Amino acid sequence: MKHTLFISDLHLCHTRPAVNTLFERFLSDIAPQAEALYILGDFFEYWAGDDDLIEPLHTSIAQQLSRLAASGTRLYLMHGNRDFLIGEAFQRAAHITLLPDPTLIDLYGQPTLLMHGDTLCSDDVEYQTFRSQVRDPSWQQSFLATPLSARKAQIEALRQRSEQEKSSKTAEIMDTNPDTVAATLRAYHYPRLIHGHTHRPTRHMHTVDGKTCERWVLTDWYNSGGYLRCDAVGCVAHGLEIFNS
Amino acid sequence: MVKLKTNHGDILLELDAAKAPLTVENFLQYVRDGFFNDTLFHRVIDGFMVQGGGMNLDMSQKATRAPVKNEADNGLKNDAYTIAMARTSDPHSATAQFFINVGNNDFLNHSAPTPNGWGYCVFGKVTEGQDVVDKIRKVRTGNKAGHQDVPVENVVIESAEIL
């Protein structure tokens, strides 16, 4: 049956080879059956700029995606809070199309809003401030003008701080804000919503202005990973079969 | 203690019944039933794990008993040379197949009682015969009977016995 797959928050990095292998298997065994694959952000643990395509992992991923596209699966990508500097060169190399966040699509007749999910966490004021800075085109331009090694060092420092801060932030701040979710659903005329970012995979039902909306949160790949499979009947979340037993 | 006699040598397993009571009892019952005799280590991935205990020598799958509850929240980690239960993506689907970690596989550890966070239950470790595991992890593998990473020459569990 015709279907579309959604993944996010893989945080692919050369330091976690097991997950890279899992993703390779996903690309060769599961993804080719889908007519489209959407990667909704934080695909890479970090992205210093498209000139970092030369890193072996990045080249390999781009090649594998390009092979998948060649076999007939349409590929789409959204920026996350880690990999928002993915640009034209990566898109060309991977045969993947970058989508704005949010993007509304028609998914087998059901209007579906796709987001990374970080903008829904409006209680995380510190992050939202950081986000408006780094999504500013002139900031990005001057950042990308610095040498790659300097950019990577800065990113690494940021990552360390982010790990420390995560442990002090309360659970409420890091989840989506219900009012922000409701406002978003209202603004887009009550679609189904699919996003990642919070690493709390589940299916929520929201009632907004009397209308019921489905919200799917995608799983991260820090454990054994997974994907959301949608077809004309609906969406089902799948874990990855690591042992096929 | 359980001894696996393989065609590469013996592997001695120390099982942790205190930390994984249901899993250990389930495993020991298969041993008592002679279930693991003449089964294969049918899936070998160097640096990751070696998996077996469920396929006949001709790669046909053996019928098992009912699944055992996942006890991965026991604090034991999927470190190198520990033994853990294989399963499908359903957290509580483990039956007979097991795997021996040949790396520190953190991503397999329990992180939350959710479908994606349950992890894989470690129930013991290799106390003697790590060198045998090291031989097995290095065998040449390929595709066979629709499966990947199958040893080209059979790695056989000739017998399993409780010591």
For chain B, give every domain's residue range. Answer: 2-162
pLDDT band at A158 (very low <50, low <70, confident <90, very high): confident
Q: Do A224 and B89 touch (CB under 8 A)?
A: yes
Worst-scoring range by mean pLDDT, A17-31, A103-117, A182-196, B26-40?
A17-31
The model's pTM: 0.90
What ipTM was assigned to the predicted interfaces of this complex? Answer: 0.81
Task: Indicate yes or no: CB of A223 within 8 angstroms of CB of B88.
Answer: no
- CB neighbour list of residue A62: distance below 8 Å, 6 or more residues apart: A53, A90, A93, A94
- Helices A17-25/A56-70 angle, 10° precision: 10
Q: pLDDT exceeding 90 applies to what percent of chain A?
A: 85
Q: What is the mean pLDDT of residues A211-234?
A: 95
Q: How far is CA A69 from CA A53, A63, A135, in A?
A: 18, 10, 28
Test A243 with B99 for CB contact under 8 angstroms: yes
Fold observed for domain B2-162: Cyclophilin (2.40.100)
Summarised one tens digit per residue, pLDDT across range B5-18 is: 999 999 999 999 99
Q: What is the pLDDT of residue B29?
A: 98
Contact B105 A241 (CB under 8 A): no
Q: Which domains does chain A have, with CATH numbers?
A: 4-239 (3.60.21.10)
Most A CBs within 10 Å: which of B62, B78, B89, B147, as the mutation test of the A interface?
B89
Residue of A nearest to B50 (CA): A243
Residue B50: φ, ψ to 5° = -120, 130
Tell me which residues of chain A, numbers 91 to 130, contact chain B at a CB-CB cutoff of 8 Å: none
Number of other CB atoms surrounding residue B12 within 10 Å: 16
B116·A239 Cβ contact <8 A = yes
Determine whether the interchain pair A223/B111 forms a contact, defined as Cβ–Cβ distance below 8 Å.
Answer: yes
For A169-222, what is each residue's pLDDT tens digit?
Answer: 666 668 999 999 999 999 999 999 999 999 999 999 999 999 999 999 999 998
Q: What is the mean pLDDT of chain B?
A: 96
What Å distances lie between residue A49 and A63, A150, B95, B118, CA to CA? 17, 11, 46, 35
Residues of chain A contacting B98 with CB distance shorter than 8 Å: none
